[in-house]
A = this chain, B = another copy of it.
Amino acid sequence: MTALAPISTKDRILDAAELLFANDGFEATSLRAITAEAGVNLASVNYHFQSKDALLHAVVARRAGPINQRRIEALQQLEEKLRNEPIPIDELLEAFFRPVTECNVLVPRMMVRFHYLEARETFRAIYETHFKPVANRFAPALRKALPHLKPEEAFLRMQFTMGAFAQLAAGSGTMEVVSEGRMHAPTREEALRQLIQFTAAGFRAPSLGAGL
């Protein structure tokens, strides 16, 4: 049924915008490119959404909702299973990242752009709305999992982790390009396991103590 349902103009626009925002960035993507990709009329964007900025919000919101819900569900399951005991860092990381890797590939790439590298005010608003609440939900469990780290260290390492993930999400075919075809890209599952292996070890590394 869903497979046969006709795709509305609104959804065609959202799909095209997601694709182009993820691949080319927000500034570099024109509404003309989006409507051409979607096979719809230029004016329909301003009819269904009010502006390019509002379209961006809609594109993010469509994906962020389900992802964040599954993140929180996964965290709740871990909390119930371990009842007050600290959740191992690799399980926390999996709860946070698996919901992202399991959805459309474009989404993480797009989110990465928005969360970290586009500087406009719009992206700040998106961060506040869609990312911050989840981060706050995970923060206490993260602190309990990392008693050996000072808050600043834990925070910095969480940033490193987000960056490592971003790198993974942003790169489409990076491995083939850089290695000039000698290596094959990992599957999503392999990449996720490698990410967790790498970042969990980073989190477990001793505190640097004095200084920070």
Question: A residues near B, CB below 8 A?
Answer: 23-25, 27-28, 112-113, 116-120, 132, 135, 151-153, 155-157, 159-168, 170-171, 174-175, 178-179, 182-184, 186, 190-191, 193-195, 197-206, 208, 211-212
Contacts and interface: CB of A to CB of B under 8 A. Distances in A.
A160 B195 contact: yes
Contacts of A206: 197
Contacts of A179: 155
5 contacts: A25-B25, A152-B183, A163-B165, A163-B167, A166-B167
Contact of A163 (B151, B168, B182): B168
A177 to B, nearest CB: 9
Give the most central of A152, A179, A200: most B CB within 10 Å.
A152
- Counted per complex, copies of this chain come to 2
Contacts of A183: 151-152, 155
A197 to B, nearest CB: 5
Nearest to A151: B183
A163 to B, nearest CB: 3
A184 B151 CA distance: 11
Contacts of A170: 116-117, 163
Contacts of A152: 175, 183-184, 186
Given A163-B166, A164-B167, A194-B212, 5 more contacts: A28-B119, A113-B117, A156-B175, A156-B198, A160-B167
A66 to B, nearest CB: 23
A91 to B, nearest CB: 16
Contacts of A199: 160, 202
